[in-house]
C-alpha cells in the first residue's frame, strides 16, 4: 500500500467490469492532487464526480494528518521530494497530470521539476491553484513562529482558515500545529536551491494552468499571474469564483477536467472509488 495515496490506482485492464458498467482502457490518465496547508487528501474526496469516467483521480496525503496523523510532518522540501519520487515515481508509467492547491501548488511544481531532472516523461498538464509563485513574497509563509493567537489572527485575516474551525477548539489546536509545519514546508519549497544543476530551476515546458479565486486575498489574481515566468510552454490563467478554498467547490474540477480533455490522452483508465466512502 502506498502511504501517500488515499486509495491505490486501479490495475490496468482491457476487460469490461460488470460492476463498473464501463470498459476501462489500458494506458489511462492519472491525476495526482496535492492538498493545501493544514488539510489532507479528503480535500479532493468528491473530485472524481467532476471528471470524465476516464480520469483516475489520486489524492495525495502528506504525513501528519488523517490516517497518517501519528507520522511526523515533513518541513524540508528535499525530504518531501525524495519521498514523492520514491512513492509516486513508479506510477508515472502512463500519462499523468498534477494539480496542487496553495501549499500543494508548490509541491506539484517542485515535483514536476524533480521529474524533469530525472529525465522522465513530463506531465500532460500541471495545474496550480491559490498560490503565488516562489519569487513573490507571501503574507503567511514567514508566520510559522508566531504565538497561537497571532497566527490564528493572520490565518483568519487572509481567509485561509475554514470558519467552522472556530466552533471546534480541539481541532483548531491540531490545525494550528499542522499549519506551522506546513508553512515551514512552504518556505522551504519556495527557497529550494538547485545550484548544483544550473538547469534545475528552468521554467517547465509542459502546459501550465493556474487558477485564482476572485475573492482570494492570500493569492490574488495578479500574484497568481506571475507564474507565467515559470512556464516556457503553454500557459493559461483561469478565474474561479470564491476565496482561498475554491478547491472545495465544483467550478475548479470542471475547469481542470475541460483542460484534461484538451491535453490528455484519448483513452484513460477507470476512476478510483471515492476515498470518503
- Burial label, 90 (beta-carbon count in 10 A; 0-12, 13-18, 19+): exposed
Tens digits of per-residue pLDDT, 110-141?
A: 999 999 999 999 999 999 999 999 999 888 87
pLDDT value of position 17:
32
Q: Would you place residue 273 in the very low, low, confident or very high pLDDT band (cuts 50, 70, 90)?
A: very low
pLDDT value of position 22:
31
Tens digits of per-residue pLDDT, 190-202?
A: 998 655 566 778 9
Q: Regarding predicted confidence, which is higher, 266 or 92?
A: 92
Q: Residue 19 CB: number of other CB atoms within 10 A?
A: 6
Place of cell 493572520: 154
CB 63 within 8 A of CB 8: no
Distance CA 71, CA 50 (A): 31
pLDDT value of position 24:
34
Cell digits for 23?
470498459
pLDDT value of position 195:
52
Q: Would you place residue 168 in the very low, low, confident or very high pLDDT band (cuts 50, 70, 90)?
A: confident
Q: Would you place residue 188 in the very low, low, confident or very high pLDDT band (cuts 50, 70, 90)?
A: very high
pLDDT value of position 43:
95
pLDDT value of position 72:
97
Averaged pLDDT, 145-170: 81
Q: Would you place residue 12 in the very low, low, confident or very high pLDDT band (cuts 50, 70, 90)?
A: very low
C-alpha neighbours within 13 Å on the C-beta side of residue 87: 20
Distance CA 212, CA 195 (A): 30
Distance CA 178, CA 64 (A): 8
Distance CA 261, CA 124 (A): 11
pLDDT value of position 19:
29
Provide the 8-state DSSP code for 8.
Answer: P
Tens digits of per-residue pLDDT, 206-246?
A: 999 999 999 999 999 999 999 999 999 999 999 999 999 99
Q: Would you place residue 95 in the very low, low, confident or very high pLDDT band (cuts 50, 70, 90)?
A: very high
Within 8 A by CB and 6+ apart from 85, the residues are 111, 114, 118
Place of cell 478565474: 239
pLDDT value of position 171:
83
pLDDT value of position 277:
35
Instruction: Tell me which of 165-169, 221-225, 271-275 is least confident.
Output: 271-275
Averaged pLDDT, 45-52: 90
Amino acid at each position: 500500500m502506498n502511504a501517500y495515496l488515499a486509495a491505490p490506482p486501479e490495475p490496468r485492464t482491457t476487460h469490461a467490469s460488470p460492476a463498473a458498467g464501463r470498459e476501462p482502457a489500458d494506458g489511462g490518465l492519472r491525476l495526482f492532487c496535492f492538498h493545501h496547508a493544514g488539510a489532507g487528501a479528503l480535500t479532493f474526496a468528491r473530485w472524481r464526480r467532476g471528471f470524465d469516467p476516464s480520469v483516475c483521480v489520486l489524492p495525495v496525503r502528506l504525513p501528519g494528518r488523517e490516517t497518517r496523523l501519528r507520522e511526523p510532518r515533513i518541513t524540508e522540501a528535499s525530504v518531501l521530494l525524495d519521498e514523492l519520487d520514491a512513492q509516486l515515481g513508479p506510477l508515472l508509467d502512463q500519462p499523468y497530470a498534477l494539480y496542487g492547491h496553495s501549499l500543494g501548488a508548490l509541491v506539484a511544481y517542485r515535483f514536476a521539476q524533480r521529474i524533469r531532472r530525472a529525465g522522465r516523461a513530463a506531465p500532460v498538464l500541471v495545474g496550480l491553484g491559490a498560490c503565488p509563485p516562489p519569487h513573490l513574497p507571501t503574507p503567511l509563509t514567514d508566520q510559522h513562529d508566531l504565538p497561537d493567537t497571532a497566527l490564528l489572527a493572520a490565518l483568519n485575516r487572509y481567509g485561509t482558515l475554514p470558519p467552522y474551525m472556530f466552533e471546534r477548539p480541539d481541532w483548531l489546536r491540531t490545525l494550528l500545529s499542522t499549519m506551522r509545519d506546513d508553512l515551514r514546508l512552504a518556505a522551504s519549497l519556495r527557497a529550494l536551491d538547485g545550484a548544483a544543476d544550473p538547469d534545475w530551476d528552468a521554467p517547465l515546458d509542459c502546459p501550465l494552468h493556474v487558477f485564482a479565486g476572485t475573492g482570494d486575498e492570500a493569492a490574488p489574481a495578479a500574484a497568481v499571474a506571475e507564474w507565467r515566468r515559470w512556464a516556457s510552454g503553454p500557459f493559461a490563467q483561469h478565474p474561479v469564483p470564491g476565496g482561498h478554498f475554491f478547491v472545495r467547490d465544483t467550478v475548479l474540477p470542471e475547469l481542470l477536467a475541460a483542460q484534461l480533455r484538451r491535453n490528455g490522452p484519448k483513452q484513460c483508465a477507470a476512476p478510483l472509488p471515492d476515498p470518503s466512502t
